[in-house]
Amino acid sequence: MRRRHLLLAGCFVLPVALGAYAQAEAERQLDAAIERLRTGLGPNGTVEWRSRSVDPVTGTARLDGVTVRQGAERMTAAQVVLDGLAGDRVGRAVLSDLRLEGTKRPDQPGPMVMTAGRVTLAGLVLPATGAGPAVNWAEAAVEEAVAEGIRVEAPGRGDAELGRLSLAGYAPGTVREAVLEGFRFTDRREGETRLRLGRARLAGAVVPRIGAEADPWALAADSALIEGAEMGSEKHRMSMRLGRMQLDGWGPGRLTTLAAEGFSVEGETPESGPFVAELGRAGIAGIAGRDTAYAVTHDLNPPQSVQGQEQTASLEGLAVFTAGRPLLRIGAVRARNSWDAAAPGAELGSLAVEGIALDMPAEYGGSWLDRLGFKRVLARLGVDTRMLRGEGRLVSDPFTLQAEGMGSLGVTMDLRGIQIPEPGRPSIAKDDPLAVVGNWSLASMTLRYTEEGLLRALLAQQAARERVPERQLRDRYAQLVQRTPVPGTQAGKEPAEIRGLRDALAAFARDLGTIEIAMRPAKPVPMLEFMTLGSRPPEQAVRSLGITARATPPAR
């Protein structure tokens, strides 16, 4: 019978004892955590609370009416709940009705204040500094963190709100994922500047350690996303909107892909009045984004693509309006840089701009074009290039610009002596732009223009104004070409090269079709020498460049 009584007593006493031990251990861990916080705050820091309790079964600690002070700065929380306190770790922490108040600056009406409805931390690691109890914040880590209902007020300056901020997998210097939602910022110092952000996400990021100096060029990320961004400035009378932007691969040595859509800028200038610019989509791929940006800002040669690497860029749906009227539309811009698989070392480039529609304002030539019958200029342009790095040769074949109902221009060019700047070396283009082309030479160039209506409209307008037949006007221009003296030559004793040019230009004037002017020097002409040929006698320039011309009548 006595043994039964002892067994029953043990069944009651043991849980009570274990509970008392668990509570005592939780109390000890809580006291140790508070002491570490006090030590980290320094001699001017205090930690106070209205009440505290520890659950004897779970070890959960609750502190009500918490106030933490460090000098003039203060943090308060209506309640702090802590679970899993153990040494330098906190399993879970929940802070409710958080308020942080900064130090008041002499030039401000009040201190900056931040409030948050709820902050949740899970898997928090706070390593000690050396052998002491103070926290080494540079080595702090957290598995999950969520802050909700954040508001920041800076009296006399502005305020900001953030609906939700979540962080996953933060270790010293890295973040697995961070998501920001419902951000609003207003700066009232000079008029009102507003910033809105629907959502932003950062993944696989390299960031500064807590307390470390931030180096923007050391930042890296697997991906970054922005959605629903808006910014407006009363002072500059401008607003911007961005529907969505996704960036993948940012950091030293990484190739970047960027896709953006729904971008617009709206504002007003004293010169042109109100304006609106809109862009449907934009994208780039295969570009060393961070390294290129670093090179440009530090006046260094940017990185170059390597064999087998393709780079692309595109724009769609660009539109510009001024004073409520359309000015420019571009349907699409597509650029590509790739390599010829059949010819190693041959780099291929292409650019196409399609769906160009230009409505020139009346005061900038619009009225003149309208009288010619071209109220709106519809055009497209394109260029294909081939770069042979080993030979230092760049061939453009061709560059074309075609204006619907007006005419088309084509240019082919063969350049030699092209040197690809060594990436990362100081750029010489800023101090001496001509140094870039100093070693270039021109092997050949051809200009080809096909008349499709512009010159005919000009001639018709002039013929009507002078009340003469258009054919008579064309003959007049042809005779002008034939009779105009050429400096350095005698009439009737011109070289065959000059007579050939005259005949081709005169034939084009009489029967507007296609005129082609070719430059084929016996050997490549240095670019700097080419730039000075205009000051030489025409005969010498024609012979040095091997200039010829050919006119082709229009197809009938």
Place of tokens 């984004």: 289
Q: What is the number of other CB atoms lying within 10 angstroms of the CB of residue 36?
A: 19
Cα–Cα nearest to 441, from 519, 350, 554, 498: 519
Q: How many helices, marked H, and strands, marked E, lie in the chain?
A: 8, 24
What gap in Å lies between CA 129 and CA 131, rounded to an integer?
6
Task: Give the residue extent of every domain in the chain.
Answer: 18-106+115-126+147-152, 450-552
Low-confidence stretches of the chain (pLDDT < 50) are 1-21
Class for domain 18-106+115-126+147-152, per CATH? mainly beta
Q: Residue 324 has what pLDDT?
A: 86
What gap in Å lies between CA 299 and CA 444, rounded to an integer?
32
Q: Residue 2 has what pLDDT?
A: 43
Q: Where are the alpha helices (DSSP H) in 511-554?
A: 527-530, 538-545
What gap in Å lies between CA 501 and CA 538, rounded to an integer?
11
What gap in Å lies between CA 489 and CA 165, rounded to an integer?
80
- Asked whether 328 and 358 are in contact (CB, 8 A), the reply is yes
pLDDT, tens only, 80-127: 999 998 878 899 999 999 999 988 887 778 889 999 999 999 999 988
- Report the half-sphere exposure of 178 (CA within 13 A, side-chain side): 17
Can you give the C-alpha Rg of the chain in angstroms?
37
Q: Residue 306 has what pLDDT?
A: 86
Query: CA separation (Å) from 233 to 184, 239, 271, 323?
Result: 14, 6, 19, 19
What gap in Å lies between CA 491 and CA 122, rounded to an integer?
95
Q: Which residues contact 35 (CB under 8 A, 6 or more apart)?
A: 133
Q: Residue 19 has what pLDDT?
A: 44
Q: Residue 190 has what pLDDT?
A: 84
The token duo for 87 is: 């040494």
Q: Residue 343 has what pLDDT?
A: 87
Q: Residue 497 has what pLDDT?
A: 87
